[in-house]
C-alpha cells in the first residue's frame, strides 16, 4: 500500500474525529507551527498579538512560551494590570481578537524572519497582480501611478514584560530601548500608544494620558487625546468614547499647556484646577498626579503628558521622576514633531491625490454638466468629511437667484445620496449666505451658524437638517465672473472648517468653475454640431437634383467623342452648353471604360454629375465650365498621350473625378483673400491650400449623399485608396504647392531621362503635374478661346481687388488692381514665362504629344507680346506728348 494512501486514510480519520485532532494539536504544536498557520492564512505572527516573544533565551528566561497572557479588561473599560495566565482556547481566542483590533493602529513589525519576508514579498506581488487584473482604463492606471510609494520606517517594539524586566536589570539599556521604540515611528496614533506605555513603565504610574496641541494656525488652541488613561502593563487601546478634547487653559492639563510649567500633586482631587470629567467617564479616582509639557526642537509646546497614581512603595511622584520624565519627553517631543510633519505631508498628499482625481474626472467626462458637478462634489465631500455639499448655479435673470442646485447629503447609504434641484428649496430660496457670496464674491466661513446673524434658522426647519458650521465660496468662470456658489456644511467630527479646509475647498471651487465652463462649452459645441448637421442636410437636399432632372437628361442622346472633339487638346472651351457638358462627361466616363470597370450605375452617374454642376457658384471663371474643360484636357491626355500606361484604372477614375470637383463651391476669390479676410474657410481649414481642402470636402459631401456615390461598389480598402488619390489630386491644384514641392522634382526627373513612374512618390508627382497641366490648359488653346478665358480670369481678379480695396482697406496686387487693367498683356507674359511654358516644355520632353500644347502656348505668347508692345507704345506717346 502506498504512502499516499496512508496519508489519505489518516486525514479522513482526523476529519471524522475533530476533538482528537484538536487535543493532539494542543499537545504537540509549538509556536513555530502556530505562526506558520497564522501567516499562511493571512494573519501576523503571534508576536504581533503581544504574546511572549522568543528572541533569545536570555530575554525569555523564566517564561513559558506556550503560556499566553490573558489581558483581562476591568470594570472601568480599561485593561487591568493584573495578568492571569490560562491555556484556555476561549481565552486565546479573546486575546487574539483584542490584539487584532489593537494591531490596526500599529506601524511597526516584529523582527523579520525569512518566512515573514517571503510573505511580505508575496503580499506585494499579490497587490501588483490585483492592479494588473483590473481593466486597463485611465482610472485604474491613474490609481496605480499616484499610489504613495512611501513606506513608514518600522522598529520592532518589545513586549511590555520584557521592557519591565530590562528596566530592573539594566536601566540604561531600558531607557535606550524606549527611546529607540519611538525614534522611528511616524504614525501619530501608534507613537502615542508607545509613549503612553513607556511613560507608565518609566515612572511606575498606574495610568497615563497624552494630549496634543491643535489649532495653532487658526488661533483656536485646544488639546486632543486619542489615547488616554492607560494602565501600566496593559496594551494600548484607543478611546472608546472618541477623541478627548480639553479647552486651552482649562484644568491641570490646559494649565500646563498654556504656561509650560510642571505640576506635581500628592492629591490631585484637592487642587482647584483638577478637572474630574474624564475621571467620571472612566470611573477612576486620581490621587498622585504628575503633568509635564512636551516640547519640540524649537522649544514650542506640542503636547502634554500626565501620569496618575504612583505604584510600588512610594505613593507620590518624586523629583527624580520629574527629571526622568522630562528627559524622556524631550525625545518624545522630537518624535511627535516628526510624526506631525509626516501627518501633515500625508494629508497634503491625500489632498493633492484627490485634486488630481478631480482633474482626471473633469478631463474624462465633460459631456454632462450634472455628472461633472456630481463627481466634484463627491470628491469634496469625501476629502473635507462634511455632512452636506452643495453647488448653486446663478440664474442670470436677477442678481441673487439660482436656477440649478446640486446637493449631496451625508451620511449616505450605498454611496452619496444626491438631492434633486426640485427638493432643494431650502438651498434655492432664501439662502442668505449663498446670496451674499454671490453678490460680494467673498468667502464666508461660519463656525457656529446659530450664533451668526447671516444664517436663517428657518432653513433648517424647512429641510429638517441641523446646521452647525458653513463654508461658502464663489464659483468663477474663465473670465473670473461669478457663475455660482459652492457650499459645504458640518464637518463630521463636529469641528468648524479650518484654514486647510478653506484652501482645499478653494481648489475644488476652481475645478468646479472649470468643469462647469467646459461642460457649457461642450453643450454649445454639441448644439453647433447639431445645427451644422441640420444645415448640411438642408443644403444637401437643396443642392441636389430631382429625379425629373435625371430623367430629362438621360433622355438626351450622347454624341460620340469625335462629334464634339473631346479627344483634342485644342478643344473649344465654349463650344458646349451646361447640359451638353454633363452629357460629354458621361461620354468621357464611358470611353475610358470606367462605367464598365467599376460597375457605375448610369442613374448614379447622372445624379452625381448634375449635383456637381449645381454646386458650382455663378462666378466669372472658376465655375462648372472650367471644371469640365479641365476634365476634357485630362481625357485628351489619357487618350492621345502615353500617360495612361503609367496610371491604373483607379487612378484614372480618381483624376477624372478630381478634375470635375477641383473647384467646387469656388467663391471667385483666392487663398490669399481667405487669409486676409479671416474668412470662415480660413478658420476651418487653416492657411495652407484653404480652398483646395474645401473643394475636396465638398466633393466628399456630394459622394456621401444618397444616390450620388459612384464609388459604391468599392470595398472599404479600395474606397480609401481612391479617396486618398482624389484628395491628393485636388490639393495639387494649389499652385503654391506645385511650385514648392512638385515642379522641381518633376523637372529633375525629366531632365535625367527618368521614365519610370512605378513607385509611389513618382506616381504622386506625375498625377500632380497632370492636374496642374489640365488646370492651366486654357493658356494653350487657340487665341480666341485663350483671350476669352483670360478676360474671365481678370474679371474675377478685379472683383477680388475691389473687395480688398473697399472692404479690407488694403491695396490689391497689380494683377487684381482694376486701375491697372491695361497691363493684362504684361501680366500674361509673366504668367506664361514663369509657370506655363516651363511646365509644358518638360511635359513635351517626357511625351512628344504634349508639344501641341507647347506650340499653343508659344503662339499665344506671341499675341500677348504684340499687345504689350502696343501698350508700351501708347504709354510712350502719352508720356512724350507726341
Q: Are 197 and 219 in contact (CB under 8 A)?
A: no
Cβ contacts of 737 within 8 Å, gap of 6 or more: 688, 689, 731
Q: CA angle 509-512-514, nearest 5°?
A: 115
Q: In the chain, which residues have pLDDT < 70? A: 1-7, 39-156, 216-220, 226-243, 276-284, 365-366, 396-400, 410-430, 537-542, 881-882
Written in H, E and C, the secondary structure of 760-827 is HHHHHHHHHHHHHHHHCHHHHCCHHHHHHHHHHHHHHHHHHHHHHHHCCCCCCCHHHCHHHHHHHHHH
Cβ contacts of 448 within 8 Å, gap of 6 or more: 468, 469, 496
Query: Using CB atoms within 10 A of its CB, is residue 604 exposed (0-12), middle (13-18) or buried (19+)?
Result: middle
Q: Is 246 left (phi over 0), alpha (psi -120 to 50) or beta?
A: beta
Instruction: Note the pLDDT of residue 477.
Output: 83
For the chain, the straight-line distance linking the first and the last C-alpha, in angstroms and rounded, comes to 138
Catalytic option among 231, 337, 622, 694: 622
DSSP state of 111: P
Respond yes or no on whether the N-terminal peptide bond of residue 500 is cis (omega within 30° of 0): no
What span, in angstroms and rounded, lies between the C-alpha atoms of 109 and 95? Answer: 19
Q: Are 471 and 501 in contact (CB under 8 A)?
A: yes
What span, in angstroms and rounded, lies between the C-alpha atoms of 673 and 816? Answer: 11
| Lookup result for grid cell 518566512 | 115
Q: Are 494 and 468 in contact (CB under 8 A)?
A: yes
Give 767's Cβ-side CA count (13 Å radius). Answer: 29
DSSP state of 79: B
Instruction: Note the pLDDT of residue 655.
Output: 97
Q: Which of 110, 61, 295, 307 is nearest to 196 (CA)?
A: 307
Q: Are 377 and 406 in contact (CB under 8 A)?
A: yes
Which CA distances in Å does 831 have to 701, 788, 837? 34, 16, 9
What span, in angstroms and rounded, lies between the C-alpha atoms of 634 and 630? Answer: 6
What span, in angstroms and rounded, lies between the C-alpha atoms of 585 and 660? Answer: 9
Instruction: Note the pLDDT of residue 597.
Output: 95
What span, in angstroms and rounded, lies between the C-alpha atoms of 531 and 238? Answer: 64
Provide the β-strand partners of residue 405. 392
Instruction: Note the pLDDT of residue 781.
Output: 97
State yes or no: is 622 an active-site residue.
yes
Provide the β-strand partners of residue 290. 264, 307
What span, in angstroms and rounded, lies between the C-alpha atoms of 252 and 271? Answer: 9
Query: Using CB atoms within 10 A of its CB, is residue 635 exposed (0-12), middle (13-18) or buried (19+)?
Result: buried
Q: Is 577 left (phi over 0), alpha (psi -120 to 50) or beta?
A: beta
Task: Show the cell assigned to 179.
Answer: 527611546
Cβ contacts of 191 within 8 Å, gap of 6 or more: 182, 185, 335, 336, 339
What span, in angstroms and rounded, lies between the C-alpha atoms of 361 and 381? Answer: 15
What span, in angstroms and rounded, lies between the C-alpha atoms of 679 and 683? Answer: 6
Q: Which of 355, 346, 166, 329 is nearest to 256 (CA)?
A: 329
Instruction: Note the pLDDT of residue 434.
Output: 86
Residue 410: CB atoms within 10 Å:
16
Task: Show the cell assigned to 543.
Answer: 443642392
Instruction: Note the pLDDT of residue 124.
Output: 55
Pairing of strands 301-310, 205-214: antiparallel
Instruction: Note the pLDDT of residue 49.
Output: 46
- Helices (H) then strands (E): counts for the chain: 34, 15
Instruction: Note the pLDDT of residue 861.
Output: 96
Q: Which of 38, 27, 162, 114 is nearest to 46 (CA)?
A: 38
Cβ contacts of 141 within 8 Å, gap of 6 or more: none
Provide the β-strand partners of residue 472. 444, 487
Amino acid at each position: 500500500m502506498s504512502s499516499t494512501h496512508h496519508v489519505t486514510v489518516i486525514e479522513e480519520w482526523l476529519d471524522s474525529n475533530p476533538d482528537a485532532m484538536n487535543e493532539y494539536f494542543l499537545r504537540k504544536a509549538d509556536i513555530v507551527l502556530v505562526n506558520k498557520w497564522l501567516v499562511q492564512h493571512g494573519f501576523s505572527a503571534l508576536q504581533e498579538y503581544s504574546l511572549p516573544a522568543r528572541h533569545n533565551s536570555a530575554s525569555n528566561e523564566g517564561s513559558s512560551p506556550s503560556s499566553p497572557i490573558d489581558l483581562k479588561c476591568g470594570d472601568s473599560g480599561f485593561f487591568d494590570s493584573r495578568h492571569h495566565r490560562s491555556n484556555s482556547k476561549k481565552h486565546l481566542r479573546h486575546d487574539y481578537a483584542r490584539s487584532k483590533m489593537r494591531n490596526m493602529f500599529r506601524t511597526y513589525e516584529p523582527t523579520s524572519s525569512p518566512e515573514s519576508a517571503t510573505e511580505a514579498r508575496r503580499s506585494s506581488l499579490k497587490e501588483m497582480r490585483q492592479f494588473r487584473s483590473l481593466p486597463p482604463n485611465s482610472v485604474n492606471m491613474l490609481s496605480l501611478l499616484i499610489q504613495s510609494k512611501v513606506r513608514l520606517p518600522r522598529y520592532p517594539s518589545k513586549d511590555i514584560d520584557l521592557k519591565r524586566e530590562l528596566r530592573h536589570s539594566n536601566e540604561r539599556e531600558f531607557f535606550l530601548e524606549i527611546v529607540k521604540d519611538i525614534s522611528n515611528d511616524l504614525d501619530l496614533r501608534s507613537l502615542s500608544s508607545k509613549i503612553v506605555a513607556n511613560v507608565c513603565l518609566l515612572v511606575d504610574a498606574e495610568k497615563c494620558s497624552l494630549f496634543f496641541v491643535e489649532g495653532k494656525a487658526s488661533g483656536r488652541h485646544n488639546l486632543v487625546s486619542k489615547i488616554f488613561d492607560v494602565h501600566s502593563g496593559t496594551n494600548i487601546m484607543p478611546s472608546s468614547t472618541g477623541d478627548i478634547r480639553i479647552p486651552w487653559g482649562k484644568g491641570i492639563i490646559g494649565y500646563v499647556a498654556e504656561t509650560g510649567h510642571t505640576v506635581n500633586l500628592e492629591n490631585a482631587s484637592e487642587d482647584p484646577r483638577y478637572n474630574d470629567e474624564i475621571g467620571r467617564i472612566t470611573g477612576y479616582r486620581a490621587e498622585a498626579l504628575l503633568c509635564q509639557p512636551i516640547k519640540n526642537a524649537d522649544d514650542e509646546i506640542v503636547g502634554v503628558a500626565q501620569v496618575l497614581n504612583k505604584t510600588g512603595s512610594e505613593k507620590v511622584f518624586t523629583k527624580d521622576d520629574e527629571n526622568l520624565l522630562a528627559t524622556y519627553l524631550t525625545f518624545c517631543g522630537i518624535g511627535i514633531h516628526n510624526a506631525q510633519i509626516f501627518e501633515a505631508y500625508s494629508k497634503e498628499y491625500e489632498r493633492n491625490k484627490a485634486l488630481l482625481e478631480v482633474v482626471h474626472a473633469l478631463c474624462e467626462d465633460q459631456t454632462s454638466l450634472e455628472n461633472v458637478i456630481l463627481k466634484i462634489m463627491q470628491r469634496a465631500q469625501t476629502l473635507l468629511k462634511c455632512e452636506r455639499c452643495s453647488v448653486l448655479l446663478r440664474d442670470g435673470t436677477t442678481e441673487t437667484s439660482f436656477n440649478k442646485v446640486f446637493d449631496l447629503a451625508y451620511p449616505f447609504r450605498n454611496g452619496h445620496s444626491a438631492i434633486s434641484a426640485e427638493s432643494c428649496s431650502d438651498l434655492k430660496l432664501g439662502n442668505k449666505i449663498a446670496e451674499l457670496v454671490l453678490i460680494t464674491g467673498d468667502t464666508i466661513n461660519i463656525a457656529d451658524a446659530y450664533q451668526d446673524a447671516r444664517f436663517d434658522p428657518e432653513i433648517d426647519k424647512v429641510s429638517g437638517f441641523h446646521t452647525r458650521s458653513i463654508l461658502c465660496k464663489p464659483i468663477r468662470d474663465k473670465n473670473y465672473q461669478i457663475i455660482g456658489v459652492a457650499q459645504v456644511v458640518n464637518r463630521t467630527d463636529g469641528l468648524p472648517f479650518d484654514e486647510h479646509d478653506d484652501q482645499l475647498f478653494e481648489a475644488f471651487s476652481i475645478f468646479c468653475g472649470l468643469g462647469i465652463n467646459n461642460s457649457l462649452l461642450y453643450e454649445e459645441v454639441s448644439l453647433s454640431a447639431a445645427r451644422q448637421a441640420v444645415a448640411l442636410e438642408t443644403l444637401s437636399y437643396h443642392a441636389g437634383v430631382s429625379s425629373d432632372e435625371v430623367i430629362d437628361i438621360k433622355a438626351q442622346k450622347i454624341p460620340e467623342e469625335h462629334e464634339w472633339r473631346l479627344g483634342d487638346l485644342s478643344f473649344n472651351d465654349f463650344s458646349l452648353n451646361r447640359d451638353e457638358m454633363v452629357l460629354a462627361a458621361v461620354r468621357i466616363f464611358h470611353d475610358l471604360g470606367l462605367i464598365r470597370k467599376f460597375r457605375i450605375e448610369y442613374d448614379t452617374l447622372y445624379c452625381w454629375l448634375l449635383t456637381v454642376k449645381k454646386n458650382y457658384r455663378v462666378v466669372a471663371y472658376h465655375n462648372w465650365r472650367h471644371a469640365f474643360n479641365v476634365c476634357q484636357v485630362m481625357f485628351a491626355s489619357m487618350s492621345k498621350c502615353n500617360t495612361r500606361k503609367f496610371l491604373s484604372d483607379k487612378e484614372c477614375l480618381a483624376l477624372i473625378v478630381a478634375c470635375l470637383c477641383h473647384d467646387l463651391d469656388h467663391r471667385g476669390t483666392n487663398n490669399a483673400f481667405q487669409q486676409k479676410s479671416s474668412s470662415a474657410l480660413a478658420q476651418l481649414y487653416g492657411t495652407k491650400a484653404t480652398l483646395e481642402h474645401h473643394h475636396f470636402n465638398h466633393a466628399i459631401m456630394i459622394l456621401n449623399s444618397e444616390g450620388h456615390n459612384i464609388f459604391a461598389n468599392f470595398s472599404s480598402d479600395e474606397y480609401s485608396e481612391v479617396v486618398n488619390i482624389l484628395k491628393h489630386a485636388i490639393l495639387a491644384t494649389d499652385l503654391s504647392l506645385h511650385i514648392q514641392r512638385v515642379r522641381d522634382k518633376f523637372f529633375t526627373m525629366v531632365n535625367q531621362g527618368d521614365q519610370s513612374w512605378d513607385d509611389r512618390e513618382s506616381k504622386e508627382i506625375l498625377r500632380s503635374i497632370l492636374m496642374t497641366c489640365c488646370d492651366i490648359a486654357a493658356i494653350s488653346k487657340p487665341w480666341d478661346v485663350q483671350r476669352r478665358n483670360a478676360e474671365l480670369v481678370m474679371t474675377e481678379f478685379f472683383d477680388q481687388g475691389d473687395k480688398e480695396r473697399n472692404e479690407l482697406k488694403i491695396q490689391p496686387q497689380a494683377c487684381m488692381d482694376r486701375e491697372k487693367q491695361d497691363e493684362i498683356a504684361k501680366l500674361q507674359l509673366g504668367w506664361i514665362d514663369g509657370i506655363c511654358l516651363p511646365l509644358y516644355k518638360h511635359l513635351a520632353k517626357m511625351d512628344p504629344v504634349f508639344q501641341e500644347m507647347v506650340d499653343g502656348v508659344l503662339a499665344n505668347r506671341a499675341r500677348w507680346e504684340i499687345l504689350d508692345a502696343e501698350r508700351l507704345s501708347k504709354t510712350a506717346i502719352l508720356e512724350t506728348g507726341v
